[in-house]
Structure 1
Amino acid sequence: MIPIIEQGLLLSLAAMGVYISFRLVDLPDLTPDGSYVLGGAVAVVLLHAGHGWVFSTIIAALSAGAAGVVVAFITTRFKINSLLASIMVMTGLYSLSIRVMNAPNLPVPKFDTGKVMSYEQVVGKTPLDDILGAGADIKFEGTGLKAVKIPFTNAADGHDLLIIAAIVLVLVFVSWLFLRTEFGMMFRGYGKNRFAVKVLGVNPDLFAYVGLITGNIFTGLSGALFSMYSGFADVNMGIGTVVVCLAAVILGEIIFGRFEFMYGILFPVIGALLYQILLSLAMKYGYRIGFKPSDMKLLTALFVIAVIAVRRFKKSEVTV
């Protein structure tokens, strides 16, 4: 159960990004399918270069945010629909991610590959230590050996869960504080009525930039952490990210939509956890009805379409 919750929380970061763009600023953005991969690619490449996981994660998230800058620029400068602009940027990010990794996929390094390591350097002891009873605390000063540390152990003992949960809670709290500020109020207002924000004397393009950049930063952060958690970055791991995250947001809204607690920033978190649980149940018991794991994205897409259709139908009934 612990790995399921861990994966759900990692997904919730990307879902928060999609929630910001689709709900708060009402700018449909498909860039997360590409920025998710870019975040993972940049993080793993920086780890290979010997940088720490914190630095690698921050740079990866900012790199994904740069993709949001491009989408916002195309949308505001050339007056192109954000959906079309994001499709173009997402397509370009596929090639960019391959260029960054110099390959379609790249594993997370275990040790610094800059130098050839001997047996003693890898295991931390010599073959005679087992015979002589010596400890494994040998230090090789001046060798330049550096172990690449990542925060995840995949031991399912709660260590990874604690780290991921702390990151998610901090980001949720910071997002809530931001949305409570005067700028945050106008930011939320931009998604509901762009004209009203313009009347206040504020350039509405500013909120388009903030929304798209922030949304992609969250997505890139999710991709970077997931790559460290899974042990690799792959150019295809972002396929369907937007649809899955939309499903997570909708699940959260269905259950807690009436409360509007914390401006709805918890919807994607709760929805992502529920989605991951449903995914695990489907993969474990779905074979009894002929279900295959590869069918999950199809069912997710159908779920999103069905919910949107039902909501449209209910609105039309109220109007009549």
Structure 2
Amino acid sequence: MIPILEQGLLLALAAMGVYISFRLVDLPDLTPDGSYVLGGAVAVVLLHSGHGWGLSVLAAALAAGAAGVVVAFLTTRFKINSLLASILVMTALYSLSIRVMNAPNLPVPKFDTGKIFAYEQLTGGTPLDDLLGNFQVSFEGTGLKAVRIPFNNRADGKDLALIALIVAVSAIALWIFLKTEFGMMLRGYGKNRFAVKVLGVNPDLYAYVGLILANVFVGISGALFSMYSGFADVNMGIGTVVVCLASVILGEIIFGKRQPMYGVLFPIVGAVLYQFLLSLAMKYGYKIGFKPSDMKLVTAIFVVSVIAARRFKKSEVMV
């Protein structure tokens, strides 16, 4: 149960990014399929360079946010549809991620001295030292580097507590931001762009902020997932948008017309539920001929079905 919650909460961060682009600012963005991988690639490469995991995650977020800048630039400057612009950027990020890793995949660096040492014995400090700084320890006569990552993958609750803390802080920060005057204008931009323009504000600014913020969350998710799983792979982002959108829709179904914290809870609750349903399908699906590889197909069908049902319901109401 603990691994399900951990993976669901990691997915929730990416789902929050998709929620921002698809719901808050109403700019459909497929870049997360690429920025998710870019975030993981940047984080793992920096870990190989001996940097702390905190700095690696921060750099991953900035790299993913830069992808959002490009999409916003193409959308606002050249008036390219956001879907097409994001497809172009997503395609470019595939090659860029391979360039960053210098390979299609890259494992998180590990070390093995043949002996078990306490953290303090290895580093001469505490686990809180140099969290964001250059964390590199050379073992005498070996040349090995000790790289500290935040996860131990022992299902003892420590990883879950850390991931839950990161998600909670991210959600609260986003909620507080959306309560500000700028955040209100950002939400207004998603509802009615013309109204924002009438107020004398350049609507392009909100397109930039929305897409940057969305991809920053996705980049953080990709970086943390790579550390959690032990690798970054150029194919790990395939279907990210669809899965995250399914998570958002599940959250919307659960909460109905209520929008606690401006809907920030939708992707979090939905992502955990999605991961739980995925685990059930993988564990018991064989009884009905279900294979793990079918999950993305089922997810896509679910998203299409829900959207079609909503459109059909609106058509009935209008009649």
- Measure how far apart 1:299 and its partner are: 0.1
Query: In the alignment, what sits opposite 1:13?
Result: 13
Residues 62-211 of structure 1 correspond to what in structure 2 (within 5 A)? 62-111=62-111, 123=115, 143=140, 146-211=145-210
- Normalising by structure 2, what TM-score? 0.92
SS at match of 2:152: coil
Tell me how far 1:123 sits from its aligned partner.
Answer: 2.5
Q: Secondary structure at the match of 2:196?
A: helix
Mapped to 1, the partners of 2:158 and 2:227 lie a distance apart of 14
**Alignment partner, residue 129 of structure 1:** none
Q: Label 1:178 to 1:141 Cα distance change in 2 as closer, same or farther (>3 A).
A: closer
**2:18 touches 2:241 (CA, 8 Å); kept in 1?**
yes
Give the TM-score taking structure 1 as reference length. Answer: 0.91
1:181-217 deviation digits (Å, cap 9, x = unpaired): 0111000000000010011111000000000000000
CA distance in 2, matches of 1:141, 1:30: 42
Letter in 2 for 1:219: V
Q: What's the counterpart of residue 31 of structure 2?
A: 31
Find the aligned partners of 2:80 and 2:138 in 1 and give their Cα distance: 58
SS of corresponding position for 1:123: coil
- The structure that has the greater radius of gyration is 1
Go from structure 1 to structure 2 and tell me whether the alpha carbon gap of 1:316 and 1:141 turns closer, same or farther (over 3 Å shift). Answer: closer
Query: Cα deviations across residues 238-297 of structure 1 (Å, max 9, x unaligned)?
Result: 000000000000000001032111000000000000000000000000000000000000
Alignment match, 2:128: none
Decide whether aligned partners of structure 1 residues 80 and 280 sit closer, same or farther in structure 2, where only a CA change above 3 A counts: same
Matched, 1:215 2:214: yes
Q: Supply the AA of the counterpart residue of 2:37.
A: V
1:84-106 CA-partner distances (Å, limit 9, x unpaired): 00000000000000000000000
CA distance in 2, matches of 1:213, 1:18: 11
The one-letter code sitting in structure 1 at the alignment partner of 2:205 is: L
In 2: Cα distance, 1:97 partner to 1:49 partner = 16
Which residue of structure 1 aligns with residue 3 of structure 2? 3
Q: Percent identity?
A: 78
Displacement of 1:234 after TM fit? 0.3
Give me the whole-angstrom Cα distance separating, in 1, the residues matched to 2:30 and 2:138. Answer: 49
Q: Is the 8 A contact 1:124 1:137 kept in 2?
A: no
Question: Within 2, Cα distance between the matches of 1:137 and 1:251?
Answer: 47
Post-superposition offset of 1:142? 8.4
Q: How many residues align?
A: 302
Question: Structure 1 residues 99, 282: CA separation in 2 closer, same or farther (over 3 Å shift)?
Answer: same
Cα offsets for 1:166-192 (capped at 9, x unmatched): 000000000000000011100000000
Residue 49, structure 1, aligned to residue 41, structure 2: no
Deviation at 1:53, TM superposition (A): 0.2
Q: Retained in 1: the 8 A contact 2:138–2:145?
A: no
CA distance in 2, matches of 1:89, 1:51: 28
Q: Distance in 1 between matches of 2:228 and 2:291?
A: 24
Question: Does the 8 A contact of 2:108 with 2:230 survive in 1?
Answer: yes
Q: Determine the C-alpha separation between the residues in 2 that align with 1:230 and 1:145.
A: 22
- Helix, strand or coil at the partner of 2:201: coil
The alignment status of 1:235 with 2:234, answered yes or no, reads yes
Distance 1:310 1:49, change over 3 A: same
Name the residue aligned to 1:254: 253
> One-letter code of the match for 1:181?
T
Q: Is the 8 A contact 2:139 2:145 kept in 1?
A: no
Which residue identity does 2:115 align to in structure 1? Answer: V
Asked if the contact 2:138–2:146 (Cα under 8 Å) also holds between the matched residues in 1, the reply is no
Separation (CA, whole Å) in 2 of partners of 1:141 and 1:286: 48
